[in-house]
Chains A and B, each alone.
Chain A
Amino acid sequence: DGGITQSPKYLFRKEGQNVTLSCEQNLNHDAMYWYRQDPGQGLRLIYYSQIVNDFQKGDIAEGYSVSREKKESFPLTVTSAQKNPTAFYLCASSIRGISNQPQHFGDGTRLSIL
Chain B
Amino acid sequence: AQKITQTQPGMFVQEKEAVTLDCTYDTSDPSYGLFWYKQPSSGEMIFLIYQGSYDQQNATEGRYSLNFQKARKSANLVISASQLGDSAMYFCAMREGRDTGRRALTFGSGTRLQVQP
- Chain A: residues with CB nearer than 8 A to chain B? 30-31, 33, 35, 40-45, 48, 50-51, 58, 88, 90, 92, 94-108, 110
Contacts and interface: CB of A to CB of B under 8 A. Distances in A.
Contacts of A98: 100
B47 interface: yes
B5 to A, nearest CB: 11
B91 A94 contact: no
Contacts of B100: 31, 94-99, 101
B43 A96 contact: no
Interface stretch (B11-19, B65-73, B78-86, B106-114): B106-114
Contacts of B47: 102-104
A50 B101 contact: yes
Contact of B91 (A31, A43, A97): A43
B109 A42 contact: yes
A100 B50 CA distance: 7
A40 B18 CA distance: 24
Q: Give the 7 A-B residue pairs with the shortest CB-CB distance, closest first.
A: A96-B101, A42-B107, A31-B101, A105-B45, A102-B47, A50-B101, A43-B107
